[in-house]
């Protein structure tokens, strides 16, 4: 018993000594890593390095009958996501935002939501990069990750406020359930997300960019 206890004490002392010689990344190193990962993520998300012009990425999924039969508890029948980034001179920093379109299965009404986003990196692994997006006034939010081939994105949510016909008085929350926690959406042309935009100048800009891949 004494020998076993001595062995345990020696092992613990060795571990403490080893930890004392290890170096952990500081805040500055982590911020630099996050910035580099963010630039890489943006290039994958928008298909090129971002510049002064506003950039967009569109992802859409209309779930077919076969999929919905496999996931009978899924409330969402179709979803579209428009992500954008711009550099407003007055802000002097990159501004990320999202617009989300939702159609419930069995309903003909369209719902939408919108908010701001930012880069989120896993602090434990230091390599998981995604967008974390939120809706104002405690409206919930979502996370956006990219597939390894960049051809699809996954939207993950717990709760997000959505509006009917963009009417502030007609809103509800899309709450995750057994089959409504993560949605894989396919990358597509910007024209497929134009219904999420109401500003005429922005629509014209998207139409011009929509000719691009």
- Judged by average pLDDT, the poorest of 53-62, 157-166, 199-208 is 199-208
**pLDDT, average across residues 44-64:** 93
**pLDDT, average across residues 54-69:** 96
pTM of the model: 0.81
Three-state DSSP class for residue 2: helix
Using CA of residue 23, residue 28, residue 31, residue 32, what is the dihedral sign?
Answer: negative
Confidence of residue 8 (pLDDT cuts 50, 70, 90): very low
Backbone angles phi, psi at 106, to 5 degrees: 85, 0
- Judged by average pLDDT, the poorest of 35-39, 97-101, 207-211 is 207-211
Tell me which of 58 and 13 has the higher pLDDT.
58
- Tokens 């379109």 sit at which residue? 101
Tell me which of 207 and 181 has the higher pLDDT.
181
Q: Where are the domains of the chain?
A: 25-209
Give 119's strand partners. Answer: 131
Is there a contact between 185 and 61 (Cβ–Cβ < 8 Å)?
A: yes
pLDDT at res. 75: 95
Flag whether pLDDT at 18 surpasses 70.
no
pLDDT in tens, 79-134: 999 999 998 888 888 999 999 999 999 898 999 999 999 999 865 555 679 999 99
pLDDT at res. 42: 95
pLDDT at res. 204: 87
Token pair, residue 78, equals 């179709």
Tell me which of 15 and 154 has the higher pLDDT.
154
pLDDT in tens, 143-200: 999 999 999 999 999 999 999 977 777 889 999 998 999 999 999 999 999 999 988 8
pLDDT at res. 56: 95
pLDDT at res. 125: 52
List the one residue out of 107, 135, 136, 131 whose CA is nearest residue 121.
Answer: 131
């Amino acid at each position: 018993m004494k020998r076993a206890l001595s062995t345990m004490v020696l092992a613990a002392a060795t571990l403490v000594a080893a930890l004392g010689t290890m170096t952990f990344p500081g805040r500055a190193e982590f911020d630099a890593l996050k910035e580099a990962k963010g630039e890489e993520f943006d290039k994958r998300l928008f298909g090129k390095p971002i510049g002064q012009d506003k950039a967009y990425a569109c992802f859409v999924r209309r779930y077919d009958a076969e999929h919905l039969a496999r996931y009978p508890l899924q409330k969402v029948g179709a979803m579209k996501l428009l992500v954008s980034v711009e550099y407003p001179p007055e802000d002097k920093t990159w501004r990320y935002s999202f617009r989300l379109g939702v159609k419930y299965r069995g309903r003909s009404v369209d719902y939408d939501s919108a908010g701001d986003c930012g880069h989120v990196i896993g602090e434990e692994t230091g390599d998981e990069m995604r967008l974390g997006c939120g809706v104002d006034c405690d409206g919930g939010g979502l996370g956006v990750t990219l597939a390894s081939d960049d051809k699809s994105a996954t939207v993950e949510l717990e709760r997000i406020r959505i509006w009917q016909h963009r009417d502030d008085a007609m809103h509800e929350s899309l709450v995750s359930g057994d089959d409504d926690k993560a949605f894989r959406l396919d990358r597509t042309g910007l024209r497929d997300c134009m219904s999420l935009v109401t500003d005429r100048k922005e629509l014209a800009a998207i139409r011009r960019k929509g000719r691009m891949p």
